Amino acid sequence: MTILSSIDKGTEGGGGELAGMRIAILAETLYEDLELWYPYYRLREAGADVFVVGSGSAETYQSKHGYPVTVDAEADTVTASQFDGVIIPGGYSPDHMRRYPSMVKLVREAHEQGKVVAAICHAGWMLASANIVRGKTATSYRSIKDDMVNAGANWVDREVVRDGTLITSRSPADLPAFMRPTIAALRERRGTDIADRYQVVLAT
């Protein structure tokens, strides 16, 4: 299993619009297949280093349809500062994820640090547990609308909603729409980081 130093080192990725960026995809049992693997490969295609982070309850999780994913690290061995973004798939897994304080903390701190947090379908449960949707416009699978509203979100029925660095979507059918602003937000973050480093160089 990946340890902190391994994630900091990254993988041997190629070029791409997100080259050098590190993204965490959260995993727990009964995740929705497409909502984990579509972002996983789309982000890798864009050049990002992608790490699957689990709750610590297992090293391999089965999807709703029995497809396994092996985690690279457990949530209590990583910190939000090691990643540029966090992706939260739906299915039944978010209801398991939010039982683990380390997973909720990772999402909350990523948001507090201005990292990209993208959640689809039932992943809104994790946003509610992390208390990061209050005052935000967001969407989710319609069955958890009340949970989102009770957590303080301005819930809307759209295929994708971006409010700052928080991106939400409704279902697997919305995955193409979900990933477009997610990748755009990550590109913006990469540009800001490069500009910040350039300012440091100038100052020295």
**Six-digit token string for 145:** 């609308």
Strand, helix or coil at 204? coil
Residue where the block lists tokens 């480093």: 197
Of 89, 78, 158, nearest to 118 by C-alpha is: 89
| Residue tagged active-site, from 65, 96, 111, 121 | 121
DSSP type of residue 61:
E
| Residue 111 among the catalytic residues | no
| Residue 96 among the catalytic residues | no
Residue where the block lists tokens 């900091």: 8
Of 171, 162, 194, 158, nearest to 84 by C-alpha is: 194
**CA–CA separation, 20 and 105 (whole Å):** 24
Strand, helix or coil at 32? coil
| Residue tagged active-site, from 65, 96, 111, 122 | 122
The residues assigned a catalytic role are: 121-122
